[in-house]
Amino acid sequence: MGSPVVGPPMRSQADLGWAGCAAVERDPLRVSGAWVFRGTRIPVAALFENLEDGVSLAEFVEIFPGATQEQARLVLEHAARSTAAAMA
């Protein structure tokens, strides 16, 4: 039996270069300096946690009014591009 194939380690949310994503912002005086959806206090991490729990994008924006589907899509696209670039 062969050894499992192991790829590069997954990047954490902190490593995804959020400064390059127009849908998010960070202020050290708000939400303990966490990256949040622009114009809100909704942490970006909340999107990933909810998706992991099976919540759809439509449900996410209902649960967290203030965040838009467009912002959520931009965050996911940024995360995908950042992860793909790190693995290249």
CATH number of the domain where residue 41 is located: 1.10.10.10
In total, how many domains does the chain have?
1
Name the strand (E) or helix (H) holding 86: helix 69-87
Residue 58 belongs to what domain range? 17-87
For 47-62, how does the pLDDT look when each residue is reduced to its tens digit (9 = 90+)? 999 999 999 999 999 9
Is 57 inside a domain boundary?
A: yes
For the record, the structure tokens of 21 come out as 């994503």
Q: Is 4 inside any structural domain?
A: no
Q: Is 71 left (phi over 0), alpha (psi -120 to 50) or beta?
A: alpha
Q: Which is more confidently placed, 26 or 7?
A: 26
Question: Rounded mean pLDDT of 61-77?
Answer: 97
Determine, yes or no, domain membership for 81: yes
DSSP sequence for 26-70: --TTSGGG--EETTS--BHHHHHHHHHTT--HHHHHHHSBTB-HH
Q: Is residue 11 part of a domain?
A: no
In a domain, 73, yes or no: yes
